[in-house]
Chain A
């Protein structure tokens, strides 16, 4: 991987959890299985995908 997979995993997991609780706190979505389990999994996938893709930064 050209990016940072460990950072992607951890930040994706935490972003998913924070997103789930933020949506719940602001009355947009309850703490469903989709939000509590699904969002962190999606976050991890996005984080690892970003690490593999590494779209930011210089190529040299």
Chain B
């Protein structure tokens, strides 16, 4: 009589899928906003964002597929702002890649600043077509230090749109998942 092996196979496959799927539902790390009393905001495409936009569910949305979008930003510190310096970076795993820095004597002790930044200028930073600019969510981390105090903080930024890289990584994840299952194939003895 021929044995029926489909049942045990299906059970084992379901268990493996369950273990891998449990990784997918791990909650995102809680973010901290801005500490030190500094305030700031940015207006992009008619929406005002601030320090509270520090989670994946509530990010600063940058519509990079729209042409001519300009971000209007302003910031203020509550302390003596002479001899200030600061930097901003993208968090990648345990590292932070610096993308901007500033600083100066500021002898007039200006406590605030404002300006505008063209999204087109941002897109020009990438030496690739617009469709190949990586989309998705990024955690930005920054700090500002002056004679009178220090502020640190993080915000979440989402580059909105459908990029080619996301599709490529999804295909890569699918292919490598199948090869991962292949590791469980019993070798012929």
Contact = CB atoms under 8 A, between A and B. Distances in A.
B180 A50 contact: yes
Contact of A7 (B23, B28, B135, B179): B179
B176 A15 contact: yes
A36 to B, nearest CB: 3
A27 B137 contact: yes
Interface in A15-54: 15, 18-19, 21-37, 39, 42-43, 46-48, 50-51, 53-54
Which interface class (under 10, 10 to 19, 20 to 34, 35 or more) fits B?
Answer: 35 or more
Interface residues of A, number: 44
Contact of B187 (A47, A48, A54): A54
A32 B183 contact: no
Contacts of A30: 28, 56, 91, 136-139, 156
B33 to A, nearest CB: 15
Contact of A50 (B28, B135, B163, B184): B184
Nearest to B172: A18
A59 B186 contact: yes
A50 B185 CA distance: 8
Given A25-B169, A39-B23, A47 B180 contact: yes
Residue in A12, A15, A32, A58 whose Cβ sees the most chain B Cβ within 10 Å:
A15
B184 A54 contact: yes
Interface string B20-54: 10011010110000000000000000000000000
Contacts of A12: 180, 183
Contacts of B166: 22, 25-26
Contacts of A58: 186
Interface of A: 2-5, 7-8, 11-12, 14-15, 18-19, 21-37, 39, 42-43, 46-48, 50-51, 53-59
5 contacts: A18-B172, A27-B135, A32-B93, A46-B20, A56-B185
